[in-house]
Each structure stands twice: as C-alpha cells, then as structure tokens.
Amino acid sequence: MLNIAKTNVLKFKLKTTAHVPLDIYYKDNVIVEVKSTKFLGMHTENHMNWKNHAERILSKLSASCSLIKRLIHNLNPDILRMV
C-alpha cells in the first residue's frame, strides 16, 4: 500500500535546466513534486548538491560538541569516552 501523504517526487536536473512541471498520479491522487526530500536519513536536493544535508548535520554536530564541551570539566574521563 502506498501512502500518498508521505510520497513525493524529486526530479534531478542541472542548475541551468529550465523547470518543467512533472505531474504524476496514483489512483487519482497527485504525487507532489518537491525540490528536496529526506530519504533513508539523507537530505537530497534536485540539483544533487548536499547543502541541506550538510547544514542539518552541522547543526546536530555543533550541538553535540557544545554539550561535550560543557560536560568535560564535570565528568569522569571514562564516562566521557562513552559519550
């Protein structure tokens, strides 16, 4: 069973290529075309650059590093190695 609410179309193209709308239907429902999507944990864009993915990973990494930096003076080194 296909969940139309979670299904979308990502058409890969060159940056210089003009946008041509792509209408795909499944059982009289339109599948929405998007410019970026998350698939198997990877954020991809229609121009095949990984800017969105890198920005999301960078923000998560920055938050984790900040937390470890605050904890480094308060926790035992063995516990920090587990983090």
Segment 5-54, tens digit of pLDDT: 889 998 888 888 887 888 899 988 999 999 888 888 888 888 888 788 88
57 and 23 together in one domain: no
Range of the domain at 81: 50-83
pTM: 0.58
Sign for the CA dihedral angle at 44, 49, 53, 55 comes to negative
40 and 54 together in one domain: no
- Domains held by the chain: number: 2
Q: How far apart (Å, rounded) are the C-alpha atoms in residues 11 and 61?
A: 29
1 and 36 together in one domain: yes
40 and 60 together in one domain: no
23 and 12 together in one domain: yes
42 and 80 together in one domain: no
